[in-house]
């Protein structure tokens, strides 16, 4: 399943209707923008969700992957240098990315030179002063009894080692040590999410250099430290700055427990050091049980941690809680990351990046590729038209580039619409380009063992879902319809002719000649041409205008002139030169039928008709009220387990707001999850529980 949703000021929401035929198992839910497609798919938002289909009888829906362990060894800064002590991180995961704990040792071929241990999330570190003549092998005995081993990267005879430590918790101390290097200085850059936060020229005295960075000068989250020698990156290290809670969200229910069908009021407050900001939040209140628990991933740990690292990050929320050893574990995690998402060589050589996908600032971008139907070659500079037929004039035009691609920027096209794609090039073959990425991460989904799930809970939730679908189907499938902009792309025509006000003629030629004073009809050797009068010079343009019928371009003028004029309701004319996309038109003739359906006009067989699933309509959340005794006593069942969902709350700093809803007939423990981000980009979350009792 795949869909698109609209973003307004970085805020959007959507929904999936899960098909009844979807098998039981784990699925990947991922989200990305077109701009994100320019980078590695590991940086897409990705979340694993489990689905249970109670109608299935199979025991396990996913084949268990072959047992396999990944043993990663990561020297601090990237390199081992002969005779220079280095911190080395290790990370062991199973085939599903879960960290494996264990203990072991490091040998140099003869002796044990270090003791090893992987702790939380399968990570650990040790110190080593490597000798270039030695070969080092790490041996780990996992807690499950399995043995894994791996050879360390070979050390080099020259290079740099960068060590980063925390001094008094206010500064990052960077110590640089070199061997067989003649330069008297090196450069250090520190940047957070692409923004440079510190840059320094560090003198090297006796092959040693030191520098410190005030943590307060760095943004929260991951900072990348890169060391350069002679304009070449030679060492790199990631550091993490824990959030300082400059922006906070607090959610508090008006009681710790409620009876069924009672009003619940949640007070949501934003606070902190950030002033004059507006927070955009989402709020979800749902039942927790053995099948449904609050997610490990939230907006704070995703934006500050997971989104800036490639691959799967196990238990991201653990690093943001007051757990013992979280600072050391976070530093181990930073050590296990390789070189970043861009190439320093391109930046240092001043090479301008080439982006395949443009950011969609003003609406979704629809792309088509044009090939020559005779030989399959890409066609450059071919005019392409896109229309959404109807009573509103929805029309776009573009010209293909060197790759045969034509792009159309469509704004607010909600729901499923019929698209008509055309080209005036008679040899053009139009191929629609899917807006969805076909690149996926290689993370293996864990098996879904239905035998280990709580059968009582899953059966109960299945019954709840069936009851809700039976009694409240219409309310569950209600949407807030987006109001279409009915303004045509040319805004306002210069003149409009409602044809019912005139005595009707039986041919389009007579209509154009007798009524439409702004159009000259010319017939050269049996071929019709329409020339619009220039509204400024009062002289006719010598090039044919854009002629539309219910928003669809008329490419064959003779065929259009054969159309029954009694089916046309109105004709509007634009009497000036008009530029649309990268094509200019010498006037526009816009014809409308009575129902906006082209009423029997046969399209050119080269046209491509596409049922396009556009942006999602916003789903209206079903939330019944129980204000009267009659409503409370109603025998209509209410087994909602999701009591409240609002993806677009907005609260100003230092203020609060109340959200109200009613408990259902489903008793148990519920959680309030509020997540948001300030307009300064600071994320925050809040989580609190309450009970619904009989």
Strands, E assignment, 400-502: 405-410, 416-423, 428-433, 479-480, 495-498
Alpha helices in 490-611 (DSSP H): 508-514, 557-561
- Give the per-residue pLDDT at 339: 55
Task: Count Cβ atoms below 10 Å from residue 125 Cβ, excluding itself.
Answer: 20
DSSP state of 81: B
Beta bridge partners of 540: 533
pTM given for the model? 0.85
List CB contacts of 8: < 8 A, sequence separation 6 or more.
none
> Do residues 551 and 397 make contact, with C-beta atoms less than 8 angstroms apart?
no
> Do residues 125 and 90 make contact, with C-beta atoms less than 8 angstroms apart?
yes
Q: Which residue has the tokens 């702790």?
A: 119
Beta bridge partners of 257: 691
- Give the per-residue pLDDT at 346: 57
> Do residues 217 and 259 make contact, with C-beta atoms less than 8 angstroms apart?
no
> Do residues 436 and 31 make contact, with C-beta atoms less than 8 angstroms apart?
no
Query: 392: which 2 tokens?
Result: 């509103």
List CB contacts of 98: < 8 A, sequence separation 6 or more.
122, 314
List CB contacts of 642: < 8 A, sequence separation 6 or more.
284, 285, 286, 287
List CB contacts of 461: < 8 A, sequence separation 6 or more.
289, 291, 641
Strands, E assignment, 153-311: 159-166, 171-179, 185-192, 195-203, 208-214, 221-229, 232-241, 247-253, 257-259, 263-272, 278-288
Instruction: Show the CA angle centred on residue 579, arms to residues 574 and 581, nearest 5°.
Output: 130
Distance CA 395, CA 580 (A): 9
Distance CA 306, CA 312 (A): 8
> Do residues 590 and 395 make contact, with C-beta atoms less than 8 angstroms apart?
no
Closest CA to 68 of 382, 407, 442: 442
Distance CA 556, CA 554 (A): 6
> Do residues 576 and 563 make contact, with C-beta atoms less than 8 angstroms apart?
no
Specify the 3-state DSSP secondary structure of 581: coil
Closest CA to 477 of 624, 615, 619, 638: 619
Closest CA to 17 of 477, 541, 520: 477
Phi, then psi, of 185 in degrees rounded to 5: -155, 160
Task: Count Cβ atoms below 10 Å from residue 520 Cβ, excluding itself.
Answer: 15
Distance CA 412, CA 424 (A): 27
Distance CA 185, CA 229 (A): 8
Distance CA 145, CA 124 (A): 18
- Give the per-residue pLDDT at 110: 85
Strands, E assignment, 507-582: 519-524, 527-532, 546-549, 552-553, 568-580
- Give the per-residue pLDDT at 341: 47
Phi, then psi, of 318 in degrees rounded to 5: -60, -35
- Give the per-residue pLDDT at 166: 83
The structural domains of the chain, ordered by start, are: 159-243 (2.60.40.10), 368-433 (no CATH), 495-609 (2.170.130)
- Give the per-residue pLDDT at 596: 92
Query: 163: which 2 tokens?
Result: 């060590």
Averages of pLDDT over each 10 residues, the chain, 694 residues: 84 83 88 91 90 70 76 92 94 93 93 92 95 94 94 92 84 91 87 89 92 92 91 89 87 95 94 81 93 91 91 91 91 82 55 81 92 94 94 91 94 88 93 93 81 80 87 81 84 95 93 94 93 93 95 94 96 95 94 94 91 86 92 92 92 86 95 92 93 92
Instruction: Show the CA angle centred on residue 452, arms to residues 450 and 455, nearest 5°.
Output: 70
The strand order across the sheet containing 257-259 reads 257-259, 683-693, 668-678, 278-288, 642-652
């Amino acid at each position: 399943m795949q869909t698109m949703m609209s973003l307004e000021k970085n805020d959007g929401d959507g929904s999936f209707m899960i098909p009844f035929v979807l098998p039981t198992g784990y699925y990947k839910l991922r989200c990305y923008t077109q701009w994100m497609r320019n980078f590695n798919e590991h940086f897409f938002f990705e979340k694993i969700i489990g689905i249970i289909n109670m109608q299935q009888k199979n025991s396990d829906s996913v084949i268990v992957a072959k047992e396999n362990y990944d043993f990663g060894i990561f020297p601090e800064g990237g390199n081992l240098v002969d005779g220079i002590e280095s911190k080395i991180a290790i990370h062991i995961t199973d085939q599903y990315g879960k960290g494996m704990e264990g203990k072991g040792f490091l040998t140099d071929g003869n002796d044990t030179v270090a003791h090893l241990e992987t702790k939380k999330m399968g990570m650990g570190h040790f110190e080593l002063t490597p000798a270039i003549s030695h070969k080092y092998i790490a041996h780990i005995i996992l807690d499950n009894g399995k043995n894994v081993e791996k050879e360390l990267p070979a050390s080099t005879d020259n290079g740099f080692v960068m060590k980063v430590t925390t001094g008094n918790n206010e500064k990052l101390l960077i110590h640089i040590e070199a061997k067989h290097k003649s330069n008297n200085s090196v450069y250090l850059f520190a940047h957070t999410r692409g923004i440079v936060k510190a840059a320094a020229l560090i003198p090297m005295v006796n092959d040693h250099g030191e520098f410190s960075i005030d943590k307060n000068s760095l943004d929260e989250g991951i900072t990348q430290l890169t060391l350069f020698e002679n304009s070449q990156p030679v060492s790199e290290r990631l550091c993490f700055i824990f959030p300082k809670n400059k922006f906070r969200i607090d959610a508090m229910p008006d009681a710790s427990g409620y009876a069924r069908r009672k009003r619940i009021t949640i007070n949501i407050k934003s606070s902190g050091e950030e002033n004059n900001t507006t927070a955009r939040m989402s709020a979800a209140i749902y039942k927790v049980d053995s099948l449904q628990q609050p997610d490990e991933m939230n907006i704070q740990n995703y934006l500050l941690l997971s989104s800036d690292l490639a691959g799967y990050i196990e238990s991201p929320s653990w690093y943001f809680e007051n757990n013992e050893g979280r600072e050391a574990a976070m530093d181990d995690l930073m050590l296990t990351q390789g070189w970043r998402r861009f190439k320093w060589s391109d930046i240092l050589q001043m090479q301008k990046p080439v982006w395949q996908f443009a950011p969609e600032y003003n609406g979704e971008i629809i792309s088509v590729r044009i090939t020559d139907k005779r030989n399959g070659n890409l066609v450059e500079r071919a005019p392409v038209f896109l229309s959404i037929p109807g009573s509103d004039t929805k029309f776009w035009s573009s010209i293909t580039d060197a790759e045969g691609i034509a792009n159309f920027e469509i704004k607010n096209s909600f729901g499923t619409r019929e698209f008509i794609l055309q080209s005036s090039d008679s040899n053009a073959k139009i191929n629609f380009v899917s807006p969805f990425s076909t690149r996926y991460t290689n993370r293996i989904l864990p098996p879904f063992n239905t035998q280990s799930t709580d059968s009582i809970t899953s059966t109960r939730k299945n019954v709840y879902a069936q009851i809700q679908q039976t009694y409240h189907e219409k309310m569950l499938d209600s949407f807030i319809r987006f109001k279409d902009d009915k303004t045509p792309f040319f805004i306002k025509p210069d003149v409009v002719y409602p044809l019912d006000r005139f005595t009707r003629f039986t041919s389009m030629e007579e209509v154009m000649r007798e009524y439409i004073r702004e159009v000259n009809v010319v017939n050269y050797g049996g071929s019709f041409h329409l020339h619009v009068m220039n509204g400024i010079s009062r002289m006719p343009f010598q090039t044919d205008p854009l002629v539309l019928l219910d928003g669809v371009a008329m490419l064959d003028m003779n065929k259009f002139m054969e159309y029954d004029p009694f089916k046309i309701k109105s004709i509007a004319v634009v009497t000036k030169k008009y530029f649309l996309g990268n094509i200019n038109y010498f006037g526009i003739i816009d014809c409308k039928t009575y129902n906006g359906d082209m009423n029997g006009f046969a399209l050119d067989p080269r046209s491509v008709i596409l049922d396009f699933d556009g942006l999602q309509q916003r789903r209206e959340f079903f939330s019944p009220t129980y204000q009267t005794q009659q409503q409370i006593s109603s025998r209509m069942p209410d087994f909602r387990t999701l009591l409240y969902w609002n993806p677009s709350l907005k609260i100003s700093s230092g203020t609060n707001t109340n959200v109200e809803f009613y408990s259902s007939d489903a008793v148990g423990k519920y959680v309030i999850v509020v997540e948001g981000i300030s307009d300064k980009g600071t994320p925050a979350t809040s989580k609190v529980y309450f009970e619904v009792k009989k």
